[in-house]
Amino acid sequence: MDQAKNPQSSFSSQQLASWGLLRQARREAAIDDCLHSIPPPPAEQLKAMLEQWCQQQRIDSPQTLQRWQQQQGLSPEQWQQFVARRWRWLLWCEQNLQAKLNSHYLERKSQLDQVSYSLLRVKDQHLANELHLRIKEGEASFEEIASEYSEGPERQQGGRLGPVPLSQPHPMLAKLLQVSTPGQLWPAKQLEDWWIVVRLEELHCTELTDSLKQRLLFELGDQHLEEQLSAAKSQGQA
């Protein structure tokens, strides 16, 4: 049968590559290789997964679900496998990558933690020292000083920034904020061409919750797949 008239035909590597889908297809195949050791979820758990999936996709009737399955070219059994696949992949990651979770969490903490802080920056060192002293002595609030004197875009918010990921500020500033306590006002410091005055308002530490554990396990799974794909590519070029 002509492939153009048969949507169920398999596709060649050349076709997938020309569509920009070859690496994704190889990634999914690598997941399938891992999932050989993972059984499907129990019936009751699968039922709950399917119901949750329908809610997330706003599929509110059997007819709507049937139309979606037809549009995707999936049988009811294939749809169930599709929904369960993410759960099985997470279970594989838990069983095989759990030992790496804590170290990965610590590595990612600077991107996960968020910080709120007040900042003002000026070009003149003496002015920065004077503004720091005025804030410290309570002559004016940080917001008032920043709104009047700061030469950066933070001026529009009275110097208040965040919450933003701790990885977003300049590395030197991020380190300063990491060792600060809430409300701590730092003397003027040079940051490249600027003189800055900064005060930590709040550090929002990200706790290792169940949802974050899942997210990090999926990240570790992605790393594992990238390693597998890179190794396979190297062997193919050898």
pLDDT tens digits for range 176-208: 998 999 999 999 999 999 999 999 999 988 889
Q: The tokens 């590597």 sit on which residue? A: 13
Examine residue 75 and state whether it is found in any structural domain, yes or no: yes
Asked if residues 145 and 135 have their Cβ atoms less than 8 Å apart, the reply is yes
Q: Residue 130 has what pLDDT? A: 97
The verdict on 73 and 146 lying in the same domain is no
- Cα–Cα dist 137/12, whole Å: 73
Domain tally for the chain? 2
- Where residue 137 sits, what CATH number does that domain have? 3.10.50.40
Extract the residue ranges of the chain whose pLDDT is less than 70.
1-9, 236-238
The verdict on 161 and 200 lying in the same domain is yes
Q: Mean pLDDT, the chain, as a whole number? A: 92
Asked if residues 110 and 166 have their Cβ atoms less than 8 Å apart, the reply is yes
User: How many CB atoms within 10 Å of residue 170?
Assistant: 12
Q: Residue 9 has what pLDDT? A: 63
The verdict on 122 and 190 lying in the same domain is yes
- Cα–Cα dist 51/45, whole Å: 10
The verdict on 192 and 153 lying in the same domain is yes
The verdict on 124 and 193 lying in the same domain is yes
The verdict on 84 and 121 lying in the same domain is no
- What does the block give as tokens for 100? 């790496």
The verdict on 197 and 139 lying in the same domain is yes
Examine residue 11 and state whether it is found in any structural domain, yes or no: no
Q: Residue 87 has what pLDDT? A: 96
Q: Give the CA angle between residues 20, 25, 29 to the nearest 5°.
A: 165
Examine residue 63 and state whether it is found in any structural domain, yes or no: yes
Q: Residue 110 has what pLDDT? A: 77
Of the residues 52, 73, 88, the one at which a domain ends: 88
Nearest CA to 115 out of 19, 30, 72, 179 is that of 179
- Cα–Cα dist 73/171, whole Å: 49
Examine residue 167 and state whether it is found in any structural domain, yes or no: yes
The verdict on 131 and 72 lying in the same domain is no
pTM above 0.85, yes or no: no
Examine residue 100 and state whether it is found in any structural domain, yes or no: no
Q: Residue 1 has what pLDDT? A: 39
The verdict on 128 and 193 lying in the same domain is yes
Examine residue 34 and state whether it is found in any structural domain, yes or no: no
- Cα–Cα dist 24/35, whole Å: 17
Q: 62: domain range? A: 43-88
The verdict on 73 and 130 lying in the same domain is no
- Cα–Cα dist 123/136, whole Å: 20
Examine residue 200 and state whether it is found in any structural domain, yes or no: yes
The verdict on 81 and 145 lying in the same domain is no
Predicted confidence (pLDDT) per residue in 151-176, tens digit: 999 999 999 999 999 889 999 999 99
Q: Residue 205 has what pLDDT? A: 86
Examine residue 134 and state whether it is found in any structural domain, yes or no: yes
Nearest CA to 92 out of 33, 175, 13 is that of 33
The verdict on 147 and 191 lying in the same domain is yes
